[in-house]
A and B are shown apart, each in its own frame.
Chain A
Amino acid sequence: MKLVRTIRCLASLSALCLLLAQPRALGASRPPDGRDLYKQQCAKCHGKNGEGVKKEYKEPLVGDWPLEKLSRYIHKSMPDDKPKTLSPEQSEAVARYIYDAFYSREARLKKNPPRVELVRLTNRQLLNTVADLLKQFTGADAPVGPERGLRASFRSGGRRGGGERNATDRVDRTVDFDFLREDAQPSVGTTNGLNVNWSGSVVAEETGEYEFILKTPNGARLWVNGDEPPLIDAGVASGTVDEHKATLRLLGGRAYPLRLEWFKAPKDTLASVALLWKPPHGTRVIVPARNLSPTRVQPTFVVATPFPADDSSVGYERGVSVSKSWDDAATQAAIEVANFIVARLDEFTGSKKDGPDRAAKVQAFCGKFVEAAFRRPLSDEQKRTYIAAHFKGKAAPKPEDAVKRVVLLALKSPRFLYLGLDNARPDEFEVASRLSFDLWDSLPDRELVKAAAQGALRSREQVVAQAKRMLADPRARAKVRAFFHHWLQVNHAEDLSKDAKLFPGFTPEIISDLRTSLNLFLDDVFWSGSSDYRRLLLEDDLFVNGRLAQFYGISTNTPDDFVKISLDPKQRAGVVTHPYLLAAFSYQKFSSPIHRGVFLTRNIVGRALRPPPEAVAFKNEEFDPKLSMREKIAALTRSEACQNCHAVINPLGFSLEYYDAVGRFRTRENGRPIDATGDYVTDDGNKVQFHGARDIAEFAAASEQAQSAFVEQLFHQVVKQPMFAYGSDTASRLHRSFAASGFNMQQLLVEIAVTSALHDLDKASKPKKT
């Protein structure tokens, strides 16, 4: 695991300061021995195994230059003080030796092969798993259909609503009404009563705290994701208060039941109601139609206990460590679940309060609960330990107490908390578990468990078929969304606010709309039939609503809702020019070619960069104000030490200079025309001329390096284990199939999940110990 970190942080471009000592007389006839040469000449400063030497050259000798370039560099530049001391043959021998021994990625993987580690559930996985575990007992949901909005029914009669129907039931896209207006449907006079009930579900896009806001001078109650009491009880209108707020945590990618009851008493002189929210990363808005559905769903249990953040030091969240605060949180969450179940014991177990078979039913529930939590059937011994033991005792324990202990034990058990306990001897249940955590970050559903029990999860075809089925589930969409946010570093883009004088109108609302716009774009491309990775980079369209259209000078007739607008392909190229990202990788007042360049280098073009050798802050006031941003950055990064990386970063960043700090297209900066050209040097030393964003997008879309980096990123986000632990040919195999599918990301996702699910399955045939 450590290895992966090393790889990611290491520079492809690190200067190879091979300090060669004075060469000895070298025999001309014998082919030069690279190992000997290295030992004699290089090890003093670079270390015996290229690990580096303090006070000499402390960086390890690792990187991703090809052999030929390495030889050339050694010949030309080593040693520092006396270049070209070594003959080209000697240089090549040294290069070949270090390349095979420790420099190349392959060498490093061979020396220290990564493995599939035992991990605990990440926080995201634990929240999802608990939610889905309880859902298995509270009834399946009807899938939320394409229809948007809430079902509305109308009665006369105010508070109690016992009166006549006074309008036809219908679906309202949003809730934002003034029923006193003459054009309102229905329009009520000031002296009449009216009672309206809106119901359906609300779809949360991201995990986090949602503030619901009910704006009404009348009486109203709002229920979200639960039964009594209401989330907001504003049945009593009082004083000038016409706004009620309450916050609750929701898991992203799921639908939750919502019901709003609103009533105008006959004496009320006003009659309006609006349902707003402030979602995580968003601003206060009328809950949009795209987040509402007239389909009712079951509530979802959302753990309220806060968890400490997961380790993501290698670029993806993974559960490789445990801590006291994590153990405390996991325990508190288990108590939460136990208390929740006990409070609804009969609902969960199908028993009746005074039913004669209550204890038996509760015990049967416990068996199912523990099996689902452990993702596999229990042995007889396990049934005794985890279940039966808690129902016995001198005085028979109350079913409530027994179930509490069973739930606590199950959710504190390593069999629930860990993934990979059966990696040594994987069976069908392990395959089911891997598939579901890969694609959903949650436990297997009934269908997967059934397939495992029937032995129908062995062949590649069977596993592929399951993976394809699972893609249709909203949880797969949520997982893909999480991947994209990671890939595009959206999670780091919290504060996009800009200088208000320079960018008037770039409000929090615009920022929130931009995030929505990006999400819609990503969904649109990924979940289309072709699911073509290249379209992420090359599409010329942008999702805008009226507010965004106005700010970005796009003419559209749709004032409110988001629509897809095709723009000038010279100006826009997929995620490369999405204004959300352009603004995120900018300063408050200016564009930032460095931030943009680093993002493009690492995440779009797929090259590794090491952290800068020294921290240099950009201080605008230190530059001649007449200079362009490009000229300032060129001056700032002029030194040779900087150029090792900035020779790559800068040309990429400069190519986006057509976009200001809020991502608007511009052709001039301070009255001077923009220079967005750049000479990009590829890994193997070739120069490519870029002029503007589209050139980069087209280069990346066709670059095997960029495609492979995308494959690896997706693999790591999905499986949360190092890709190379799945075989040294996994990278090339996945890339080949990705290319063969026309770069279909959905198919790639299936391939990745199947690779992980079937890993080491042949070991399963060996005798099994329990």
Chain B
Amino acid sequence: MNAIHRREFLKRVGLSAASLPFIVGLPSLGLAAPARPRQRLVFMFSPNGTIPSNYWPDEEGKDFQFKEILSPLEAFKDHTLVLHGLSNKVRGDGDNHMRGMSCLLTGIELFPGNIQGGSHTPAGWASGISIDQELKNFFQGRTETRTRFGSLEFGIGVTDRADPWTRMSYAGPNKPVAPVSDPYQMYQKLYGQLKDKENLQSILDDVRDDLKKVRKLISAEDRRLLDEHEALVKQMEKEIADSSRQKLRVEPPALEEGVADQNDNLPRLSRMQIDLLVNSFVNDMARVATLQFTKSVGGARMNWLDIKDGHHGLSHEPDKNEDAVAKLTKINKWFCGELAYLVGKLSKTPEPGASGSMLDHTLIVWTNELGKGNSHTLDNIPFVLVGGGLGFQMGRSLKFDKIAHNRLHLALAHAVGHRVETFGKKELCDGGPLKLG
């Protein structure tokens, strides 16, 4: 981290010159009971399309059966809404992986640029804000829904590369938001100041002793300055003591130590990030989160599933390659298992200051950049929604006929009270928000 990034960090946590609150004067964590029920959103991403036959329920309506990939959600079937038939209809520059990723949450074209994918025209960043950031801004714009961070972007094995294949969240045109793939870095972001405060508190006594000893070395005239200094140290001790009464609702999770950001650690990294995510929600640090598994074209090798091939490579195999289909089903089911872990954790956590579980106040949207890996289609993009946070009627399997996915984003916005007419590309919003209530 060099100077600029530390400054940027200070700014983000509200310690810039302009807003100045010192470490002991952190803004309140906002744990009072809300005036209206809290609403939270999580966008979870996994790459390379799905195996449609093992994913989409055959039935429509309330009475439906999960196929293999979605089976880990069985216990939460009543909380689940499967949306078949949503298509990413954004065209223009960039290959399908690129548009699949960078238009997924933005619903708008990419700028022309220098990133070359396959034989398509080269492209740059998305030309608009993504729905997660749009809703974050909406929440942050109102006192009653404002939180310390607004949104948190978690990554799991995303890689360091920044390009339209690796970014789905955008703060605005040409403003990709990088997910944090290192749980320790995320921990520092969430709880670093608390730790700093503890460390500071532990040495202030020594500082006062030190001032007393030094006082003996100097002349009487000079002591005034040190006396004033000592008074300031006392004041800081008191402020820290006062501020530490503002306890967190839950303690930071104890992270397993030394888990490096590498392929074989993905299962552990996933759980660490999900634990941090839920923890940050309980402490009401954000109302929006993204959880990005690898990236579009992601090539994770899931050795822990006994799969030695890279995910992306496998996804190109034809449908008749039964081995590949089986492996891809296993891979997608693993992602669904991580989703189920998140859902389970939320369902077991009571909503702070309100009735029900946190799952009742959260909606998770699990999606993908492609409908199907070997065809690279942007039709029938996987969208599975879990949780009661947005008041949708859950426990259903719905089928649409290739309608633009922008309309789902509109439905999310309207469900939190953000009544925008269009989102992303205007022409793709015809028909208005999907009716999911």
**What is A's interface to B at a CB cutoff of 8 Å?**
115, 117-120, 159, 218-219, 224-229, 231, 233, 235-241, 246-250, 265, 267-268, 299, 301-302, 304-306, 320-324, 327-328, 331-332, 335-336, 338-340, 343, 353, 385-386, 389, 401, 404-405, 408-409, 412-415, 418, 420-424, 769
Contact = CB atoms under 8 A, between A and B. Distances in A.
Interface of B: 1-7, 10, 15, 17, 22-23, 110-116, 122-125, 127, 160, 162-164, 173-174, 192, 196, 199-200, 202-204, 206-207, 209-211, 214, 216-219, 221-222, 225-226, 228-229, 232-233, 235-236, 258
B232 A324 contact: yes
Contact of A328 (B17, B22, B174, B226): B22
A238 B222 contact: no
B218 A423 contact: yes
Given A229-B5, A327-B233, A414-B214, A236 B163 contact: yes
A119 to B, nearest CB: 8
22 contacts: A120-B225, A159-B114, A226-B2, A228-B160, A236-B162, A237-B114, A237-B115, A238-B112, A238-B124, A238-B125, A239-B111, A246-B4, A268-B114, A268-B122, A301-B3, A304-B6, A324-B235, A385-B206, A408-B203, A409-B203, A412-B204, A769-B217
B18 to A, nearest CB: 9
A400 B97 CA distance: 42
The winner among A120, A226, A229, A238 for most chain B CB atoms within 10 A is A238
A227 to B, nearest CB: 7
A386 B214 CA distance: 14
Contacts of B196: 335, 338-339
A226 B15 contact: no
A322 B229 contact: yes
A305 B17 CA distance: 7
A239 B112 contact: yes
A758 to B, nearest CB: 19
A248 B3 contact: yes
Contact of B219 (A228, A389, A424): A424
A226 B1 contact: yes
A755 B222 CA distance: 22
B218 A118 contact: yes
B173 A321 contact: no
The winner among B17, B210, B216 for most chain A CB atoms within 10 A is B210
Given A115-B221, A235-B163, A385-B209, 14 more contacts: A118-B226, A119-B225, A226-B1, A236-B163, A238-B113, A239-B124, A239-B173, A248-B2, A248-B4, A304-B3, A322-B228, A385-B210, A415-B214, A418-B214
Contacts of B15: 332
Contact of A405 (B1, B116, B124, B203): B203
A367 to B, nearest CB: 16
Contacts of A236: 113-115, 124-125, 162-164
Nearest to B211: A414
Contacts of B214: 414-415, 418, 421
B124 A237 contact: yes
Contact of A238 (B111, B206, B228, B235): B111
A188 to B, nearest CB: 14
Contact of B23 (A228, A229, A301, A332): A332
Contacts of B199: 338, 401, 404-405, 408
Contacts of B206: 385-386, 389, 409
Given A235-B163, A246-B4, A265-B114, A321 B23 contact: no
The winner among B23, B110, B116, B225 for most chain A CB atoms within 10 A is B225
A156 to B, nearest CB: 16
B23 A335 contact: yes
A456 B258 CA distance: 48
Nearest to B126: A238
B115 A340 contact: no
Given A322-B228, A409-B203, A239 B127 contact: yes
B344 to A, nearest CB: 32
B371 to A, nearest CB: 25
Contact of B3 (A225, A237, A422, A424): A225
B206 to A, nearest CB: 5
B4 A226 contact: yes
B230 to A, nearest CB: 9
Given A235-B162, A306-B17, A423-B218, A331 B210 contact: no
A365 B203 CA distance: 19
Contacts of A227: 2
B207 A409 contact: yes
Contacts of B209: 385
Nearest to A117: B222
Contacts of A301: 3
Contact of A332 (B22, B124, B228): B22
A427 to B, nearest CB: 12
A322 B23 contact: no
Given A236-B162, A408-B199, A118 B225 contact: yes
Contacts of A339: 192, 196
Contacts of B211: 414
Contacts of B1: 226, 340, 343
B3 A249 contact: yes
A324 B258 CA distance: 39
Q: 5 tightest CB-CB pairs across the interface, nearest first?
A: A226-B2, A238-B124, A239-B111, A118-B222, A237-B114
Contacts of B192: 339
Contacts of B5: 226, 229
B236 A327 contact: yes
A327 B225 contact: no
Given A267-B116, A405-B203, A415-B210, A322 B232 contact: yes
B205 to A, nearest CB: 10
A327 B229 contact: yes
B46 to A, nearest CB: 23
A240 to B, nearest CB: 8
Contacts of A306: 17
